[in-house]
Amino acid sequence: MEVLEARNLSVSLVGVDVLRHISFTLRRGRVLGLVGESGAGKSMLGRVIARDLPTAFKVRSGALTFQGHDLVTIAGEKHRELLGDSIAFIPQEPLTALNPVLTIGQQFDEHLGRLGVPQADRRTRMITALGNVLLHDPVTLLDRYSFQISGGMCQRVLIAMAFASEPALIVADEPTTALDVSTQAHIVQIMRKMQRDHGTALLFITHDLRLAAHVCDDILVLYAGDIVERGPARTLTAMARHPYTLALQAANPPLDGPAHRLATLPEQMPGIGAFTTLPGCRFAPRCPVADEECGRAVPPLREIAPHHFVRCSGACLTQGAKASAPEPLPVATTTPGVPVLVLKDVAKHYPGERDWLGRRRPGTDAVKAINLTVRAGEFVGIVGESGSGKSTVAKLIMGLEPITAGRIAIDGNDVSVNDSAARQVRLGTLQMVFQDPQSALNPRRPVGRLITQSLEAARSTASEADRVMRARALLAETGLSADLLQRFPSQLSGGQKQRVNIARALCVTPRLLVADEIVSGLDVSVQAQILNLLLDLRRDRGIGLVFISHDLSVVRYLCSRVLVMQHGAVVEQGDAEAVLGRPQHPYTQSLIAAVPPEDPDRPWPCNSP
Ligand code: SF4
């Protein structure tokens, strides 16, 4: 039975189509994946279902029907009724979706009240529902607030609430993006089991094609508002034909098998403002096989195999994407002599708060006696789940937090106490690249000033002309155009901001970068560009890197050595290929098992019955 059907649906903003002629069918008990990067239009579809389009966006033509009701035209009251009873949403940010001033029980109770569940039955219903999503001790959980539980637990609460009305359709918009890899595997497994048990139709919106291949029955790949490829998940991932789908696959580093330099697309997806300049295929400026035909008219969606469609004028179907021979990864060479960074038995303890009698509660050992040596030209990864202590290590290295025990040396100088001498040593040797490029860049400074900002901290006497020249050179080195010099951060894309962040870190020619989750917020094709940039910097500058990440595939791609952290301690370390290829510690094994395998036919928790 068809639950959701889109027929030629177009959404426009002041006459420009931001979603063009979208058609698909989602049946009962099936999972449809909407895959695409930021700006592809995938979340817009969820907003059409919720009638929550941003101001000035309108459904221009076509229909979106839910069990025969056109969600665009039905009366508001009927639409609200459907949203409560038959259509539920699982949001991207579980922590912001829950109200921090109400307990979990109060919010769940309110939700059940809206669904018409009698007061007397609600507590039992809540406890059963929270138990179904494998939350321990649901009775205690009802009295807790969202800020007292982890992001993964919040997401399970939201899944329990979404399934409470036994809806016919659930829209899950990037439900695991904010979670680490182990929590992602648990959440997806629970969601898939609940969906199978209830026969629910699930619209799964994600930027991760590899994850979608495991979770979904069918996949639509969206690019700049167009469906560019559509088909059964297994067929589409095994025999992808559109150059954009192929590029998404190629941009994702594998966790096993031979490692090659990631193939990247030039530039980035066009924004809405550029759509009017692209009357034909919107992928043409980045397409490796585009010809003059591609820019003339919107290419048709052609069926190239049963149920497998590709939007192309024909060039990519006849030529295929130009596959150049894979480039090998450059061999890492480290410089002998004094290491750039040495951590010897470094620990960090946070004392507990005092209770009302003035007694101190037990504190937290965030980092427990870790040892680490990094030489110039060496890339070392630190992996672990949220709360494992890996970001605290970055702060200790940078002197942002004092260490509780142990010793830190930079270029042979003891910097365990971050006094003015230690700060000078750090300034000349280390730079940090932060996770969120948006908040790391002062919005009031143009790019040129931002990049050379560290010269001020180093009290450089460089003239204005020298600073501009330096900024231009750094922009070129990080693959950015000199046109960006006068732009402000708000005028840059996410990938450009992270490059500016890296350019700024390079300004004082550091010998070691400390990078904390710097690609986790980026789209996969932009991530590939940044990873390749880091490898180029190692080749050209002999720079070292401490790379903190929860993404094991990315760490394997970049780093020659890896440390695995759990509860503040290093539980396994060594050569990255050995640790990630033949993990010995059960915790490392569990982290690796949680990564969706590249081959969708390989078992993974969520696709096992
Ligand atoms: S070959 Fe032309 S129509 Fe096909 S994807 Fe490339 S640019 Fe678009």
Over residues 513-524, the pLDDT tens digits come to: 999 988 877 778
Q: How far is the CA of 278 from the centre of ligand 1 (A)?
A: 12
The per-residue pLDDT for 459 is 67
CA 464 to ligand 1 centroid distance, Å = 45
Q: Give, for ligand 1, the residue of 265, 269, 278, 283 to mutate: max count of ligand atoms closer than 8 Å to Cβ.
A: 283
What whole-number distance in Å separates Cα of residue 185 and Cα of residue 212? 12
**Residue 288 near ligand 1, beta carbon < 6 Å:** no
Asked whether the beta carbons of 290 and 278 are under 8 A apart, the reply is no
pLDDT band at 556 (very low <50, low <70, confident <90, very high): very high
Tokens of 440: 């790391």
How many A from CA of 561 to the centre of ligand 1? 41
pLDDT given for residue 321 in this prediction: 53
| Contact predicate 187/206, CB 8 Å | no
Ligand 1 center to residue 242 CA distance, Å? 8
H/E stretch holding 383 reads: strand 379-383
Instruction: Indicate whether 128 pLDDT > 80.
Output: yes
User: Closest Cα to atom 4, ligand 1: which residue?
Assistant: 312
Cβ(299) – ligand 1 distance below 6 Å = yes
Percent helix, strand, coil in the chain, to 5, is 40, 25, 40
- At the fourth CATH level, which superfamily is domain 371-592? P-loop containing nucleotide triphosphate hydrolases (3.40.50.300)
Q: If you search the block for the tokens 């042979």, which residue do you land on? A: 412
316 Cβ inside 6 Å of ligand 1: yes
pLDDT of residue 455: 76
278, 294, 311: which to mutate for ligand 1, most atoms within 8 A of CB?
294
Percent of the chain with pLDDT over 90: 47
Element (H, E) at 466: helix 464-477
Tell me the Ramachandran region of residue 174: left when phi exceeds 0, alpha when psi lies from -120 to 50, beta otherwise.
left
CA of 600 to the centre of ligand 1 (A): 27
- Ligand 1 pocket residue status of 339, Cβ below 6 Å: no
- The beta-strand segments (E) located in 471-608 are 512-516, 544-549, 561-566, 569-575
**287, 301, 309, 319: residue to mutate for ligand 1 pocket, most atoms within 8 A of CB:** 287
Q: How far is the CA of 553 from the centre of ligand 1 (A)?
A: 30
When pLDDT is cut at 50, 70 and 90, the band that residue 398 belongs to is very high
pLDDT in tens, 182-200: 888 888 888 888 889 889 9
Q: Identify the residue whose tokens are 């560019």.
A: 228
Q: How confident is the model at residue 525 (pLDDT cuts 50, 70, 90)?
A: confident
pLDDT band, very low/low/confident/very high, at 564 (cuts 50, 70, 90): very high
Burial readout 582-602 (b: 16 or more C-beta within 10 A, e: otherwise) = ebeeebbeebbebbbbbbbee
What is the value of ipTM here, to two decimals?
0.99
Residue 261 token pair: 């330099």
Q: For 592, left (φ over 0), alpha (ψ -120 to 50), or beta?
A: alpha
Question: pLDDT tens-digit profile of 210-242?
Answer: 999 999 999 999 999 999 999 999 999 999 999
Ligand 1 pocket check for 283: Cβ under 6 Å:
yes
Q: Is 125 within 8 Å of 117 (Cβ atoms)?
A: yes
313 lines ligand 1 (CB under 6 A): yes
Nearest atom (ligand 1) to Cα of 228: 5
CATH architecture group of domain 2-86+165-319: 3-Layer(aba) Sandwich (3.40)
* Residue 315 near ligand 1, beta carbon < 6 Å: yes
Reported as a single tens digit per residue, the pLDDT across 269-283 is 888 888 888 989 999
Mean pLDDT of 400-422: 94
Quick: pLDDT tens for 287-338: 988 888 888 889 999 999 999 999 998 777 776 555 556 777 777 776 677 8
- Whether residue 194 has its Cβ less than 6 Å from ligand 1: no
Which residues fall within 8 angstroms of residue 113, CB to CB, at 6 or more apart?
Answer: 119, 122
Q: Find, among 341, 272, 345, 283, the residue nearest to 312 by Cα.
A: 283
Whether residue 343 is predicted with pLDDT greater than 90 in this model: the reply is: yes
Where in the chain are the domains?
2-86+165-319, 97-164, 371-592
Q: How far apart are CA 33 and CA 468, in angstroms?
A: 46
pLDDT, mean over the chain: 88
Task: Report whether residue 294 contacts ligand 1, using a CB cutoff of 6 Å.
Answer: yes
Q: Does the C-beta of 579 come closer than 6 Å to ligand 1? A: no
Fold match between domain 2-86+165-319 and domain 371-592: yes
Over residues 202-216, mean pLDDT: 92
Ligand 1, atom 3, residue with closest C-alpha? 312
